[in-house]
Structure formats: C-alpha cells, structure tokens
Amino acid sequence: MTSILALDFGGTKLAAATVNIGSREWLRYERRLSPAIANASTDLEIMRSLIHSLLQDTQPVAIGVSFGGPVDATTGTVRLSHHVPGWENIPLQELLEQEFGVPAAVDNDANVAALGEYRFGAGQGYDSLFYITVSTGVGGGWILNGQPWRGTGGMAGEIGHIVVDPAGPVCLCGKRGCVERLASGPYMAQNAREALTAQPKLWEGKILRSLVEDNLELLTGQLISQAAADGDDLAVEVLRKSAWALGTGIGNIANLVNPQLFILGGSVTKAGTQWWEILRQVARETALPEIDFEIVSAALADDAPLWGAVALAELRLAN
Amino acid sequence: MTSILALDFGGTKLAAATVNIGSREWLRYERRLSPAIANASTDLEIMRSLIHSLLQDTQPVAIGVSFGGPVDATTGTVRLSHHVPGWENIPLQELLEQEFGVPAAVDNDANVAALGEYRFGAGQGYDSLFYITVSTGVGGGWILNGQPWRGTGGMAGEIGHIVVDPAGPVCLCGKRGCVERLASGPYMAQNAREALTAQPKLWEGKILRSLVEDNLELLTGQLISQAAADGDDLAVEVLRKSAWALGTGIGNIANLVNPQLFILGGSVTKAGTQWWEILRQVARETALPEIDFEIVSAALADDAPLWGAVALAELRLAN
C-alpha cells in the first residue's frame, strides 16, 4: 500500500509505471504506442489495460498524471489534446479517483517535467527554476519557492510564444519571431528548406542537401544539427538562430523573474556544443550583469513525464 | 503604540509619514527635497530630523522603507543608489532597528510600490500582479500568491532591460531595443531629438519643434506626449514605439508568468489615451488568445512608495 502509480498520456505514446514511495527504481513499467487512429476513448482503454497489468490485485496510494496538452490542474480536467481528438474537457482526475478510489493529480507535460526535474533530476537542491522543452514545440514549466507556479489561468510557462524578433518569420500563432518559430525542430527544418529554395544555385547548404539527396521535404531538425556538426554553413546559421532565440528568451526571463536555474530538455537540446555555447552566451548578454543563473541539461530524459507524475502524486498526498 | 512609520528615500526627495494600523489616512506627513550635493549621510541626517519631528515622544510598532535603488531585501541592506553617492552596502534595516528598537523592513521602490498597490491601490482583491513604473527608467515588482516575489538574487522585475527589438537602438546597458530604451521618458526625448536632427528640413515634428522653439535639448517625454496630443506626426511615432515596446513586454510576461493584473504607474503613463490604446492592443496581440489579464493605471500616485512602505512594515510584523 505504499506505491504510486504514474501515467503519461504523451500524444503518440502511453506509458504507466509504479514505484514505492522514496524509491528511485520502477517496480513495474509498461509502454505502448497510440494506435494510428486514436481518440480519447482508445487512449483511456489502452491506459486501463496497462494499469491493470501493472497493479494486478494491488492498489496505489495515489496517482500522478502527465498529459500532453493543456490541463486545468486545479481540477485535473484536460482541456484538449493537440494530437488526439475527443479529449475536450475530460475530467481525468475525477475519472481516476472514482475508478481507483485514491487521490489523483493531473497536469500538463511541461509542468510535470519541471516538477520531476526539481524532485528527482537536474533541479534537486534548487528552489526556483524554469524548465524548458525544445522539440516539436517549445514549452516551459515553473518551480517557484519549491512549488509549481502555473499562473492565474494555468497558462504560465509559454516561452514558445514570446516574441524575440518582431521582424522575424510568421509563426503558426500569427505573430512574428516567436521563440518556437525560430528554435523548434520542425521550424528549423522549414527555415533551412526556405533558405535552400530561395538560393537554389549557391554553394551554401551543400552538406544539408546531400543528407536528404536534394529532397528538401525530408529535412528535420536533427539533420540540421548533423549537417552543422559537419560544417554546413547554412545549417550552422539556422542552428545559430535557434540558439539565439532561446538564449534571448532565457535572458529576458532571468531579468523578469530571476530564477536560480534553467533546465533544458527535448530533442533540439541534443543539437551539439555550438548550439549550447551560443545559447549560453546570448542568455548571459541579455540578462543584466548582476543577475546570476545557471543553464543545464535535463537529467531525466525519456522518463521525465513519469517521474514528474510521481512527484505530482507525492505533492497531492502532502497538500 | 499602534502606528507604523513609513519612509521614502526617493533619490531627489525624502518623505516620512505615520499612520495607525488599519487607517488609510496619514497621522503626520513630512517631505523634503534632497540637497543639491547629497550623500548617504546627508540623506540619513535629513530623514532623522523628519522622523523626530513626526514621532516626537511616541514610538512606532514597525518601520517600512522604500529605497530608490537596488536593495537586498532579505537583510534590508541598500546595495547602492544611482542618484546619491555613499549608499553602497548600507545596512539600513539594521541601523533603523538599532536606533528605534522596533522591527524594520527595506525594499526597492518598485517592489514596495507593487506591494502598496496590492494592499491599498489598484491591486486590491487580486492575488498575482506585476507593477510597472515608466518614467525616467522602467522597472517592475511582482506579487505572486499574495506575496512579493523578488527572485533568487532579489533582482526580479527588471522589465526595463528585457529585449523586445534586437534591431532597435542601443541602450545604456549595451543591448539593443530594451523596453527602457524605447519606452522611458528621457529615451523618448532622445529618439525624437535624433529623428529631428536626422531630418532637419522635413515638415515632420513641426509642433514639437515649436514647443521647444527649435532648441532640441529642451525636449522631454512630457512634451512629446503634448505634441502627440496636438497631432504632431513625429511625436505620435515616438509615442507609438514606446507603447509598442511596453505592450510587447507585457504580452510576453503574460505568456511566461500569467498574472491576473498589470498595474502601470509613472509619468509616461500620463501620455494620453493613444499610448494606452496601442499598449493594450499590442499586449493583447502578443499574449496567446487563451491568456487573460487586465492592464490598469496605478491608484496611489505620488504617495505609492509611502503606502507601500506601510504594507511592507505590516508584512514584517505578520511574518
């Protein structure tokens, strides 16, 4: 009766695990891809089968959930999923509490990852931090005074859509020069594609072109990192802009909120030392000289949402 | 024995007042300009005489202090004053506690004004807000969960030096396009001066020129507001850029921290309805559609630091 059940509704994958309170090793762990045509019902059905396989006849003391989309964390109600239809206004916390008869807590993946890094990862021993994930999108989550800070409407942490270059390219959100528009993997690929299409005859981007055999549709953020590491000038420029945008955002946040630590996770943070160097330098130059902070890599990797869900369940038990 | 002593070290002026706990009217109030050649000792000497004139034979229950410069609020130590020499590392809280034998608390003017507006002004009934002062400089102070948020190193709130236009003009801090560089009164005057100097023969800025009889050194932020209200195109453009910079900063902050309320004080906020309209529109467009907030004018006017100092003293008594 001292285990916690952690759930991760990740958009393309579903994962569940159990852990004894205080332990850092999973008791049991199950993971499954979402079906090609998923909806909220199929996601819940799969998750139920994962849970029953994990728990068998036991009962956890609490359930923590990481959800890949906006959540009203005060009630644990999912607002929607950007990947899977049917999640609009689903009271996930209530469903779980009724079904399993124990306290549950639900929050979005960025907030949960921030909490996980704070309790079990790179943020241990720090009291105020901002976690940033940079992959398909760019999002963030706050820990202030050792507690999650979600904002008045639960919307805090949206670093992806702060404007850092008002003359920059147009983002899906309608604004120009958002951090996500410059720093995310898919947008880096788009920026490279546009630059290569605009200058089809120049020597620039030669390595990048050869990586996709001139099929620019195949460009990804990862290939841009690879080409940049191999010395492709155009890829270096795209990567530099990504690091610059994120570094400017981080420096501005340091000035505004003055946290001790920034933790960066997500696929784009694997882009190599050049990306990290530019990012750190720009953040340092953007923040006032009197303002100190560290920028480190996330420690929990793929299991971050599940460990964060454990921390969320513990917090639910403590409050 | 139930009165609070509030002090305001304002850079160019010194003020002190007493109030009964719970009352909204000053018992006594004294105010004096700093001498032309001031230092920390003369400031403290003048303040002592104000205090003794106020208190006579009585003793307050606590002392709250607003200081116009960086303060380590955890110890109440002044770091420095940008206006008056000799304030480097003065333990003002300790000095006051020893001299008057009661608890004292010291913080910088932006944090104190935020607290004052929260307790007694435009922020009453709100739980999380950001106060912004826009005059000679641009600064800010946070209230989160009903408490001041000062940041790890006491440096939170520096909205003046977040970058909103990386292609903008160079700020005193060395960066381009800081909010303060575009929005503050003196920089608005400089921007108008430079534009008029660069285009000495054009019809633009005619009203502005006539207001200072072609002596561009006399330009001020206030005159720009006046000329803009009279329809001067160049003044309108300078004012628009100020409102745009601040609106972008506010929208970015809404995305990052999601407070309920922004409170704006300081001389530039008297710039007229056009400035407010542009600012509100840009802030609304910069924030994600799901993020709600209000932007209102400060309520406490010139006495904001003193009322904030009262709130700071009350907080000291409560903690």
Beta bridge partners of A90: A78
Residues B65-98: pLDDT tens digits?
Answer: 999 988 999 999 999 988 889 999 999 999 999 9
Query: For residue A228, which phi and psi values (nearest 5 degrees)?
Result: -65, -40
Six token digits for residue A62 = 């609490």
Q: What is the mean pLDDT of residues B222-229?
A: 94
**Contact, A145 vs A275, CB < 8 A?**
no
Residues A21 and A142 in one domain: no
- Per-residue confidence (pLDDT) for residue B199, from 0 to 100: 74
**Contact, A99 vs A60, CB < 8 A?**
no
Alpha helix segments (H runs only) across chain A: 40-55, 92-100, 109-120, 179-183, 185-198, 206-211, 221-229, 233-257, 273-286, 304-318
Residue of B nearest to A284 (CA): B175
The answer to the question of residue A124 being in a domain is no
The answer to the question of residue A257 being in a domain is yes
Collapsed DSSP state (helix, strand, coil) of residue B290:
coil
**Contact, B258 vs B124, CB < 8 A?**
no
What would the DSSP string read from start to end of A277-319? HHHHHHHHHHS-TT---EEEE-SSGGGHHHHHHHHHHHHHHH-
Residues A283 and A307 in one domain: no
Residues A149 and A60 in one domain: no
Subunit contact A152:B260, Cβ cutoff 8 A: yes
- CA-nearest of B71, B4, B2 to B316 is B4
The answer to the question of residue B124 being in a domain is no
Residues A28 and A138 in one domain: no
Minimal CA separation from A25 to chain B, in Å? 32
**Contact, A291 vs A254, CB < 8 A?**
yes
B30 touches chain A (CB under 8 A): no
Six token digits for residue A200 = 């089809």
Residues A149 and A190 in one domain: yes
Residue of A nearest to B132 (CA): A256
Residues A24 and A141 in one domain: no
- Per-residue confidence (pLDDT) for residue A1, from 0 to 100: 54
Residues A288 and A309 in one domain: no
The answer to the question of residue A123 being in a domain is no
Residues A201 and A136 in one domain: yes
Half-sphere exposure of B283 (CA within 13 A, CB side): 24
The answer to the question of residue B142 being in a domain is yes
ipTM here: 0.94
Between A247-251, B147-151, B193-197, the lowest mean confidence (pLDDT) is in B193-197
The answer to the question of residue B123 being in a domain is no
Residues A25-37: pLDDT tens digits?
Answer: 999 999 998 888 8
Residues B270 and B312 in one domain: no
The answer to the question of residue A96 being in a domain is yes
Residues B36-60: pLDDT tens digits?
Answer: 888 999 999 999 999 999 998 899 9
Would the CA dihedral through A117, A123, A125, A127 be positive or negative? Answer: negative
pLDDT > 90: what percent of chain B? Answer: 86
Pairing of strands B261-265, B147-149: unpaired
Six token digits for residue B153 = 């190193």
Residues B71 and B133 in one domain: no
Distant-in-sequence, close-in-space partners of A59: CB < 8 Å, separation ≥ 6: A1, A100, A101, A102
Subunit contact B163:A253, Cβ cutoff 8 A: no
Q: What is the mean pLDDT of residues B180-188?
A: 96
- Per-residue confidence (pLDDT) for residue A201, from 0 to 100: 61
Tokens 């000799």 correspond to: B86
B163 vs A167, A248, A257: nearest CB:
A248
CA dist., res. A50 & res. A67, Å (int): 16
B114 touches chain A (CB under 8 A): no
Residue in B88, B142, B149, B162 to test binding to A, most A beta-carbons within 10 Å: B162
- Per-residue confidence (pLDDT) for residue A283, from 0 to 100: 98
B80 touches chain A (CB under 8 A): no
Domain that holds residue B210: 129-297
- Per-residue confidence (pLDDT) for residue A200, from 0 to 100: 65
B158 vs A162, A173, A255: nearest CB:
A255
Subunit contact B255:A158, Cβ cutoff 8 A: yes
**Contact, B178 vs B164, CB < 8 A?**
yes
Cβ contacts (< 8 Å) between A255 and chain B: which residues?
155, 158-159, 161-162
How many domains does the structure of chain A reveal? 2
Q: Is the pLDDT of residue B11 over 80?
A: no
- Per-residue confidence (pLDDT) for residue B201, from 0 to 100: 62
Minimal CA separation from B295 to chain A, in Å? 15
Cβ contacts (< 8 Å) between A158 and chain B: which residues?
255-256, 258, 288, 291
Cβ contacts (< 8 Å) between B140 and chain A: which residues?
256
CA dist., res. B28 & res. A277, Å (int): 57
- CATH at residue A178: 3.30.420.40
Residue in B257, B261, B290, B294 to test binding to A, most A beta-carbons within 10 Å: B257
Residues B305 and B277 in one domain: no
Cα dist from B212 to A68, B202, B216, whole Å: 59, 17, 7
Cβ contacts (< 8 Å) between B157 and chain A: which residues?
256, 258
Please identify every stretch of chain A with a pLDDT value under 50, giving residue numbers as ranges. Answer: none
Give the B window 244-283 contacts with A, CB below 8 Å. 248, 251-253, 255-260
The answer to the question of residue B54 being in a domain is yes
Residues A96 and A166 in one domain: no
